[in-house]
Amino acid sequence: MKIAVLTGAGISAESGLQTFRGNNGLWEGYNIYEVATPEAWNKNPTLVQEFYNMRRKNVLAAKPNAAHFALVELEKYHQVQIITQNVDDLHERAGSKNIIHLHGKITQSRSTLDPNLVYDIQGWELKMGDKCELGSQLRPHIVWFGEAVPMIDNAIELVKNVDLLLIIGTSLQVYPAAGLATEVDTNTKIIVVNTEKIHSFSTNANVQFIQGNATVEIPKIVEELKVL
């Protein structure tokens, strides 16, 4: 079976990484518009770097959980494509093979002059004064609010051609990623796993909603999918 898995911050919550919906629009105490937009970067790049340095520190200290590992197990039985909104690297560290990061990766930096120049960050800190090979300041390799999502067209093509879309731990409030759920074929089954009920996002009659923690529900779903 061809399976696409759309993941959000909720899948990493039980690894100790905070989500931000449900915290009054704050992410770790920060207003996201003051740290995760191009305007924020233009206004106060030092604050933006500090914010992502702290997030990076947390990501490096976190470990993949049972939900990440169950998705790796699923690859033994089906063709699996992960499409994540997360900027952490827990899917990679768990061992998933096919991963698209819609919103970039916090473990990487990119040139402010040429967006194609992307580098791995050694350790947790990216500083003002750290430069790309062309001499321009490096920024976190993150798609900020208000920026284009270069990988979205690939993701749309992928979800159009699957038998199952598994949606885990996302509030489906951030577009265009949230729109992926409406791109699937009407015959495609959709399974949604979330601790909280999320708003109705699809007219697809094949939607199954499972309320619960990703680390509990995903291993169970994977067990069931093994025999299909």
Residues serving a catalytic function are 103
Nearest approach, Cβ of residue 177 and ligand NAD (Å)? 7
User: In terms of CB distance, is 65 or 188 closer to ligand NAD?
Assistant: 65
| Distance from C-alpha of 4 to C-alpha of 160, rounded to nearest angstrom | 10
The residues near 45 (Cβ < 8 Å, ≥ 6 apart) are 128, 137, 139
Nearest approach, Cβ of residue 133 and ligand NAD (Å)? 27
Give the rounded distance of the alpha carbon of 39 from its chain centre.
22
User: In terms of CB distance, is 113 or 149 closer to ligand NAD?
Assistant: 149
The residues near 38 (Cβ < 8 Å, ≥ 6 apart) are 144, 146, 147
Torsion 165-168-173-175 (CA) sign: negative
User: In terms of CB distance, is 28 or 163 closer to ligand NAD?
Assistant: 28
**Burial bucket for residue 2 (CB in 10 Å: 0-12, 13-18, 19+):** middle
Nearest approach, Cβ of residue 81 and ligand NAD (Å)? 17
**Total residue length of the chain:** 228
Nearest approach, Cβ of residue 82 and ligand NAD (Å)? 13
User: In terms of CB distance, is 20 or 124 closer to ligand NAD?
Assistant: 20
Under the rule (CB under 6 A), what is the footprint of ligand NAD?
Answer: 8-10, 12-14, 17, 19-21, 85-88, 103, 169-171, 173-174, 193-196, 198, 213-214
